[in-house]
A and B are shown apart, each in its own frame.
Chain A
Amino acid sequence: MTTAREPGTTAGTERARTKPVRTKPARTKPARGFNTPSPARTAARYLLLVLVLLLVTGPFLWQLSTSLKGATEDVYSRTPSFLPDHPTIGNYGQVADAIPVWTYALNSVIVAAVCITGNVVGCTLAGFALARLRFRGAKLVLGLFLATLVLPGEVTIVSQYVLVRGLGLADNLLGVSLPGAIAMLNVLLMRTAFAAVPAELDQAALVDGAGVWQRLWHIGLPNVRGMLSVIVIFTFIGAWDDFLWPLIVLNDPQKYTLTVGLQYLDGTFSANPRLIAAGTMIAFLPIVVVFALCQRFFFKGVEEGAVKG
């Protein structure tokens, strides 16, 4: 149910196919003419970058600008202006009068917190067991985890709702967060991460008489922190952004998460675009902050050709 990730996303599949044809001996310094473009070309590149930037961030900035425009200001744009004439943050207060937006934000935080905790603990333990311990039935279990990947979340959403209702968790935040609290894809990702830890480390610890817990805690965990942080980031984004599942599970407007609440606001108070704009910004800005803080982790892997979606 994550939006930012699809199961089975692997980049770097092409490595095997391109033949490493080497026509010249390897150099330590790259040739000049090849690597340094002319200033005109660099300028053209920046120009294009800025154009795309406008296209990508334009709608967000327009929304931000709308959310800051005062009640007397014309937001319906015969002559669109990006800068508010009388900037005000009053709309953010008024959203809270129209819908309990801060309660919604708190609900989203609760759902995300349960999902993150569950995924970190559950997927770490299972990933370690599947990668590092030999036991009968391991292959079968692994196969079943893999098999769930061909099942889009939307396919089982009806019977998941029936199940959650049967557990008495319909219209309950726990019902929203529980099914995603251990995601099958994350179990497989943690298994891959643990499998990449050198076996010698384990062997040495075994000789020293270390038990399973000590090996998990002192050898496994320190070596899978990168994958764990990626899982935390994407679990947060997935839970915070999810719409379809909470929309199905929740009834009571007091219990809505932010995404469901915003859609509700759009349906009830569509007369005032300033309020909707303020509401979307409340849902959008936290995710931008989280991503801006964590993007180091993310793009580091990309250049090494190792990112998993």
Chain B
Amino acid sequence: MVALAKPFQPVATGASLDIKGVSHAFDIDGSVLPVLDDVSISVAPGEFVALLGPSGCGKSTLLRLVAGLEPPRAGTLEEDGVAITGPYPSRVVVFQDPTLFPWRTVWDNVALGLEAQGVLKTQRHRVDAAIDLVGLGAFKKAYPHQLSGGMAQRVALARALVNDPRILVLDEPLGKLDSLTRITMQAELVSLWQRNGFTALLVTHDVEEALFLANRVIVFSDRPARVTADITVDRPYPRHRGDPHLAELRRQILGLLGLDATW
């Protein structure tokens, strides 16, 4: 409840993210498969940036590089001007699958980061606060197999937020949810982002979702991914799905993705 009791903090606690000339490739059966081709993106502190692109174009790979799970083949990534060399809890990833640890209760799952960093003993209240933040206070002792898909993904969000990330990396976190739960959680994501002020980097397939959430939408080409457009979404929050300005942007982005025939 500590986090909720605090007054709204408009001051951005997010970090800046600089992706400079990053290229990446995979070796598959001896041949080299290029996935990222000279990608440069600069994200300001506290910005919400959505990455849109065709399926399999390499967006998720870019997120793995940002998280520090893999080093890029070429180029550099920097958090607040410091090179990213490995995973660090200031950059937390929420994956498409909640990947909760089935042998841990909701509380223990959320506590994972603090436990791994060895600060759980003094910081237990942060776990409770994070669980309350995503509205699952009544499920602290439940095991993951007892949760619905939406609840599990909320737990995954709480597990990320408990670390007070400066950059929250979201890899299609709502991709597998039903459409009603997705709409609810999109609104929750916006309010969490506004409340906590982190920098958010979201990969999604859903143009409407990108426009509903993000300050900027970056459109990628087919693999190997290159940045084909960088669109600023200059609309205030909370946004409305029926906003004609968003509809126009949506038409424009679908055109960039070669899907304008469906409009």
A is bound by B = no
Which chain B residues have a beta carbon within 8 Å of chain A's beta carbons? Answer: none
